[in-house]
Amino acid sequence: MSDSFLNEGSRPFYTHFTCEHEAIDGVIHDLQRDLNDVSRKLPTSQIAGRLIQLREMMSRHFLEEEEGCFDEICARQPHMCTETKQLEQTHKMLLEIVDELIADVDEANSGTAWRTRFNRFEHTMMAHENDERTLVRRGLMLPEEDA
């Protein structure tokens, strides 16, 4: 685990973890803002490119969580392993949703169905991050004021 942020302690990792969430959120919110800008229509190739970038960010982040943070939580508090496994399943589901949005990107400018799906994805992602922050704080035994 020599490349793990956890080697430096829980607080620096938690800061790194929340910064990555903010970066992912920023990409989602920027795309949402641009999709909602009625003064211009984004080309579907640009939407697809941004979704692919988002998926890559999410995939790297999820892998780091699963192979670093979640393993550490399970080592410290084995009773929490079930919760980390549930979050890992949510990671897979979120990546599948992004894959579906990418596959159907041609529909992004042709009505509201695709955008409704993107909105649902955004809300699901935000709820997941909230749940994850709570679990990580508990699992790494960080007091609320460190959050």
What pLDDT, on a 0 to 100 scale, did the predictor assign at position 1? Answer: 39
Q: How many CB atoms lie within 10 A of CB 136?
A: 23
Split at pLDDT 50, 70, 90, the class of 111 is: confident
pLDDT at position 2 over 60: no
If one counts the domains in the chain, the total is 1
Top pLDDT among 147 and 64 is at 64
Question: How far apart (Å, rounded) are the C-alpha atoms in residues 121 and 76?
Answer: 32
CA atoms of 65 and 8, how far apart (whole Å)? 15
Question: What pLDDT, in 10s, does the model give residues 31-72?
Answer: 999 998 878 888 999 999 999 999 999 999 999 999 888 988
**Sign of the four-CA dihedral 97, 103, 105, 108:** negative
Check residues 17 and 20 and name the one with the higher pLDDT: 20
The CATH number given to whatever domain includes residue 122 is 1.20.120
142 in helix, strand or coil? Answer: coil
CB 119 within 8 A of CB 125: no
Rounded to two decimals, the pTM is: 0.87
The size of the chain, in residues, is 147
Find out whether 59 and 95 touch, Cβ atoms under 8 Å.
Answer: yes
Residue 3 has pLDDT above 50, yes or no: no
Rounded to whole angstroms, the Cα distance separating 103 from 118 reads 13
Lowest mean pLDDT among 50-54, 63-67, 114-118, 140-144: 140-144
Give the DSSP H/E element, type plus range, for residue 97.
helix 81-103
For residue 94, give its domain range.
5-146
